[in-house]
Amino acid sequence: HEAEAHRTDLMTITRYVLNEQSRHPESRGDFSILLSHIVLGCKFVCSSVNKAGLAKLIGLAGETNVQGEEQKKLDVLSNEVFVKALISSGRTCILVSEEDEEATFVDPPLRGRYCVVFDPLDGSSNIDCGVSIGTIFGVYMVKDKDDVTLDEVLQPGKNMLAAGYCMYGSSCTLVLSTGSGVNGFTLDPSLGEFILTHPDIKIPKKGKIYSVNEGNAKNWDGPTTKYVEKCKFPNDGASPKSLRYIGSMVADVHRTLLYGGIFLYPADKKSPNGKLRVLYEVFPMSFLMEQAGGQAFTGKQRALDLVPTKIHQRSPIFLGSYDEVEEIKALMEQNLLQV
């Protein structure tokens, strides 16, 4: 009966968020309404991404589709959908998107207390070969929605109220934290609902996988080179780690969260701040990792303590299993001591 009850007592993301809300009696449901609009955006992008391949096959893509309309690139389309969904929620006042050079300030009549930073379709260069891609988002509360400046969004990641990603792959999986653990939901297309499939995700304390673009090895600094060397030629008799690198952050981080291990995009001589963006790639993934019992480190400090000064600022990032990040922190500190 237990199994039967479990099967029929569907915990949807909507119910989950409402339950969360009841833990915060002071909240007027604004947060639940905001999240429901983010979920709406994810559902739309999921269906567009799944059709993209088909669109190419039947000639809908490229310059114009059969209706003669300009066929939008998926990342542009996804961005427009999220911006419109977030503004129409009436709960946001600033939006920062990877696709938009400037932040979007919502018109006063539609303003709410939240600021959302997001990458509407991260890894979109991988679409044509069918590799999983995703939406990454983070949510801040602003101090005063009537006097909103860019400073409101240049907050350290530890101030985030929520963060998550939606991965568009063999299934559509939304992983979310609202500050009390991490939960994974899978879209049931027949219901159009995200169902709780990965309750209370905890990342394994250690891992057998390292995930980095080895093609950048020529430009890495000492500690990174030493760490990766250790993964391949362990000197303590442990077996070498496996390398898994998909090149789509959401896919690499999702695997790291579930299987354990370490994901790193270090600084290198070409890009002294690494490649990944602080607000809508590093912070949300670091928030999730900490909520799942892992760590996230920039090479100099805890990632969530970083205070950004620009909305598209980059940072090196080492995130994953608690013990694996500890090893990197030790190597970085040794390097500092040797200076």
Residues at the contact surface with ligand P6P, assessed by CB under 6 A? 122-123, 125, 213, 247-249, 252, 275
Specify whether the CB–CB gap between 173 and 182 falls below 8 A.
no
Amino acid at 189: P
Do 301 and 186 meet the contact criterion of CB atoms below 8 Å apart?
A: no
Q: Between 112 and 266, whose beta carbon lies closer to ligand P6P?
A: 266
**Closest CB to ligand P6P among residues 179, 247:** 247
Q: Which is nearer to ligand P6P, 174 or 251 (CB)?
A: 251
Nearest-approach distance from CB 73 to ligand P6P, in angstroms: 14
89 phi/psi in degrees, rounded to 5? -70, -25
Q: How far is the CB of 177 from ligand P6P (least distance, A)?
A: 20
Minimal distance, residue 213 CB to ligand P6P, in Å: 3
Q: Which residues pair with 96 in a beta bridge?
A: 117
Instruction: For residue 45, give the nearest of 207, 202, 222, 172 by alpha carbon.
Output: 172
Task: Output the smallest distance, CB 110 to ligand P6P, in A.
Answer: 30
- Minimum distance of ligand P6P from residue 90's CB (angstroms): 31
Helix (H) or strand (E) holding 93: strand 92-97
Complex with ligand P6P: residue 276 or 331, whichever CB lies closer: 276
Give one DSSP letter per residue of 109-174, joined into a string: GGEEEEEEEEEEEETGGGGGGT--EEEEEEEEE-S-TTS--GGGG---GGG-SEEEEEEESSSEEE
Cβ proximity to ligand P6P: between 131 and 161 the closer is 131
Residue pointed to by tokens 């959908």: 81
Q: Min. distance of Cβ 125 from ligand P6P in angstroms?
A: 5
